[in-house]
Structure 1
Amino acid sequence: MTTLPRSPRLLLLSTVVLALTGVGLLCLPPGQGSPIPATPAPTATDQPTEALSAGKGPFGMTPSPTPTGPPSAIVSALPPHGDGPAGDQAVQQSLEAAWPADLPHADERTLLTAGRALLRADATGIGRARWPTVFPSRGGGKAVAPAFATARFRIQAAIARQDGGPDKAVVHLVWAGQDRGGTYTDLRITDWSFTRIIKKGVVTWTPQPRT
């Protein structure tokens, strides 16, 4: 399932998100309501799976230093919670600035397409049949029920980067969704790890199976 980040770099990203949101709250006019918390509450085990590369750094590289400067400059780096699609571009730009590209464009496009589809399948159940090793059925052939509503699911930003070598990569996604309990939260974080396989000159990026 998608959980709190356990690697140092994921923890750094989450800390930056929380810190920038806190600064944004200080700049809000008096009486404005508080945003939805960045950290979702733990839910049932049939929530989307956590990053398949648990315990590893998200990109196998050192992120850029945390932004510094006056509060107005820092707040502009990330949108406030609940900002909706209008703030997604700022999230995307923040990810790209923190982790510079290190993959060929063709590989990056392939990985991003697969990573987005995997996340959507994991969260909403749509398209799980494409990856039977990633989404195995339960006993009796029953699939795990989706944990998030399709209508309230949105990928806010995504990047693909090497993960310790040219034959390993990770797709890092930030997304928003409403769970079955009706709680809507944005700035969720999920990683999907891939391994590159070259067979007869054809390159295939395969998502790593659950461990």
Structure 2
Amino acid sequence: MTTTPRSPRLLLLSTVVLAVAGVALLGAPHGQEPPAPATSSAAHAATDPSASATAPRASQPTVATTPSTASAAAAPSSVLESALPPHGEGVAGDRAVQRSLEAAWPADLPADDERELLTAGRALLRADATGIDRAKWPDVFPDSGQAVAPAFATARFRIQAAIARQGGSPDQAVVHLVWAGMDRGGTFTDLRITDWHFTRTIKKGAATWTPQPRT
């Protein structure tokens, strides 16, 4: 049986391919594979200055911008302090304090409940700081029947901002208050933070918010 001789052109192409492969193998370092041809996207990044300026390098780690769960669940005081105006701003800074509170914790209670809670929270804070009307909440202030020297002067007491928000459940709420006052030693401090917690209870067929004693 005889075989048909191969085309001279085919033999020439095969020789060229083998020669190119041999040069590539000889030029590559020992123990390494020859470099793979660059893809079209890689070639574009190498030739396009704008792409090379904006694309991150493979050897550099990228920084995540999504806030962590821990920072989102930070304590109210730590979140608020980062957004409050400087100490000593006075009455002029109270509006900024209120805006910071509302931005940090969006409203999540019915308007009627929020008004009731804010009224009670403000009164409780004033009673706690100055001693005024403590007898209205004997469960919160067990010593309300005794003569107690106020911790803060009434004339220098001021509530700077307040919000009421839902607590751990629909039947729980907390009133966040920021206030200023002068203590018995004569030291005036603003941007004080106090929280009052409430639970929803049913009295005489109507739901009401009952303050919880501070621990």
Give the AA of the match of 1:12. Answer: S
TM-score (norm 1): 0.63
CA contact under 8 A between 1:136 and 1:143: conserved in structure 2?
no
State yes or no: 1:147 paired with 2:151: yes
TM-score (norm 2): 0.62
Percent identical: 77
- In terms of fraction of residues, the more helix-rich structure is 2
State yes or no: 1:172 paired with 2:182: no
SS in 1 for 2:79: helix
SS in 2 for 1:12: helix
CA contact under 8 A between 1:168 and 1:194: conserved in structure 2?
yes
Give the AA of the match of 2:181. Answer: G
Structure possessing the higher relative contact order (Cα contacts under 8 Å, 6 or more residues apart): 1
CA root-mean-square deviation: 1.8
Structure 1 residues 113 and 150: alpha-carbon distance in aligned structure 2, compared to 1, 3 A threshold: same
Query: CA separation in 1, counterparts of 2:77 and 2:165?
Result: 17
Give the AA of the match of 1:195. Answer: T
* Matches for 1:1-211 after TM superposition, within 5 Å: 8-13=74-79, 15-17=81-83, 78-137=84-143, 142-211=146-215
Stretches (4+) displaced over 6 A: none
Structure 1 residues 95 and 200: alpha-carbon distance in aligned structure 2, compared to 1, 3 A threshold: same
Q: How many residues align structurally?
A: 143
Structure 1 residues 14 and 99: alpha-carbon distance in aligned structure 2, compared to 1, 3 A threshold: closer
CA contact under 8 A between 2:164 and 2:175: conserved in structure 1?
yes
CA deviations over 1:60-117 (Å, ceiling 9, x no partner) = xxxxxxxxxxxxxxxxxx3321111111000000000000000000000000000000
**Rg (Cα) greater in structure:** 2
Q: Which runs of 5+ in 1 are unaligned?
A: 1-6, 18-77
Query: CA separation in 1, counterparts of 2:141 and 2:91?
Result: 29
Question: Shift in Å at residue 200 of structure 1?
Answer: 4.3
Query: CA separation in 2, counterparts of 1:202 and 1:143?
Result: 34
